[in-house]
Amino acid sequence: MNELEIATQLVHAGERREPPVGVPVATPIYSSATYTYASMAEMDKVFSGESPDYIYARYGNPTVAALQEALATVEKGNFACTYASGMAALHAALFACELSANSVVLASRDLYGASFDLLYKIFGAFGVKTQTADFSDLDALREKAAELKPRVLLAETISNPLLKVCDIAACAEIAREVGARLIVDNTFASPYLCQPLDLGADFSVHSATKYLGGHADATGGIVIAKQEFDRPALVGVMKLGGGVLSVWEAHQILRGIKTLGLRLERQCQNAEILAEHLSKHSRIEKVFYPNFSEDVQLTGKVLREPFGGALVSIILKDNTRESAFRFMDALELCIRATSLGDVFTLVSHSATSSHRELSPKRRADLGISDGLVRISVGIEDIKDIIADIEQALEKI
Ligand code: PLP
């Protein structure tokens, strides 16, 4: 070929160099949307699946694959698939359960609000019926499952905002008895505290936006599957639904999980000290913390001992929205925000955020009162967290 013009050189010079022989210690960000091969014959083999490799970012990406492998390893899954958000991951797991018109999903009654919306508004539009049950009442759950013959049982490891721990092993047994699949949203516990597949679940789902990323700067979701036969459905949703995890987010989350153990140990220790401190506070009516619950033995069976998680919920003494707002407005260090699982301590008011769409009666039935505040405890020095919460409580 003739010497290329500068405009052409600017496009191609330096690109598509041979990868280094030295293996990068940390996974690089492979941002390329597409891949080329030495010949069409080689490319054809990749398209046909004969040579497993990369073709196009929506089908697979080396950085994203590193995160998938990491999560499949730590939660002992057969494989893992990533998605653009936790909701996209939950959608994929439900899709993998082959729901059709009139199939029933039996969901824990205190599921994350958007998960209910997904079930009612999206799957409901295709005729899927959602029923709810109190998953902490195992006899009633078993009876309801036997009666409804659901295709799916959907649970959360730790409920929001009352922080009830789910007996995943018992739910898995009930699911098996009726031929249902068990999906566990493990977002609130993270893989460091709970391994749902070990306890009998078929799928563990995470909003990676929370503890996995851990720094409030990446949005993503992941499904870890126990059985190889779920791969086509989960990969299919990724490729054809197209809600893939961006390589930039995957890199942030891959970095995030490296410190998950360290962060969570600190966060859980902080949370327990805070819960203990607040349970003696004159301005607080009630503290919710899994290690202080009546069923602390169950907490030990489900969560890594001695940890009780890194969330603490409180009900303020006069239990009104006004006092909750005054308390939250007075915080100077802890941050008013709706997410959780970050290095920062985040404080949210469930009645006006995660459970806003529910009627006051439904909130009352679930035990979510106006004076309830959820604290996602961060990695700061606990003395500073307590001092900030103390001074804000004084200002109620
Ligand atoms: N599951 C739980 C328990 C959540 O709390 C959330 C979000 O808050 C989600 C799923 C959805 O995750 P994302 O916001 O990443 O879609």
Selected catalytic residue, list 45, 58, 321, 336: 58
Nearest CA to ligand 1 atom 7: 207
User: How many angstroms separate the alpha carbon of residue 184 from the centre of ligand 1?
Assistant: 13
Residue 57 CB partners (closer than 8 Å, separation 6+): 32, 33, 34, 244, 247
pLDDT at 357: 86
Q: β-strand 181-185 against 203-207: which pairing, if any?
A: parallel
pLDDT at 326: 98
Buried/exposed code over 223-241 (b: 16+ C-beta within 10 A; e: otherwise)? bbbbeeebeebbbebbeee
173-178, long-range: CB < 8 A, 24+ apart:
173/200, 174/138, 174/141, 174/142, 174/145, 175/145, 175/200, 175/202, 176/200, 177/142, 177/145, 177/146, 178/145, 178/146, 178/149, 178/150
User: How many angstroms separate the alpha carbon of residue 85 from the centre of ligand 1?
Assistant: 8
Rounded CA gap, 23 and 162, in Å?
Answer: 46
pLDDT at 18: 93
- Is the pLDDT reported for residue 84 higher than 90? yes
230 C-beta closer than 6 A to ligand 1: no
Binned at pLDDT 50, 70 and 90, residue 87 comes out as very high
pLDDT at 1: 80
Rounded CA gap, 202 and 97, in Å?
Answer: 10
pLDDT in tens, 199-256: 999 999 999 999 999 999 999 999 999 999 999 999 999 999 999 999 999 999 999 9
- Is the pLDDT reported for residue 2 higher than 90? no
pLDDT in tens, 32-63: 999 999 999 999 999 999 999 999 999 999 99
Look over the chain and give the mean of its residue pLDDT values, rounded to a whole number: 97
Binned at pLDDT 50, 70 and 90, residue 81 comes out as very high
Q: Name the residue among 313, 270, 271 with its Cα closest to residue 288.
A: 313
- Is the pLDDT reported for residue 131 higher than 90? yes
What's the pTM? 0.97
Q: What angle, 0 to 180 degrees and rounded to 10, lies between the N-to-C axes of helices 247-258 and 62-74?
A: 40
Rounded CA gap, 35 and 53, in Å?
Answer: 9
As to burial, measured by CB atoms within 10 angstroms (0-12 exposed, 13-18 middle, 19+ buried), residue 91 is buried
Averaged pLDDT for residues 18-22: 94
pLDDT in tens, 146-186: 999 999 999 999 999 999 999 999 999 999 999 999 999 99
User: How many angstroms separate the alpha carbon of residue 7 from the centre of ligand 1?
Assistant: 46
Q: Look up 185 and say whether it is catalytic.
A: yes
- The rounded percent of the chain whose pLDDT value lies above 90 is 96
Instruction: Using CA atoms of 331, 335, 339, 345 in order, give the dihedral in degrees to the nearest 10.
Output: -90
22's tokens: 């030295």
pLDDT in tens, 313-356: 999 999 999 999 999 999 999 999 999 999 999 999 999 998 99
pLDDT at 358: 86
187 C-beta closer than 6 A to ligand 1: yes
290 C-beta closer than 6 A to ligand 1: no
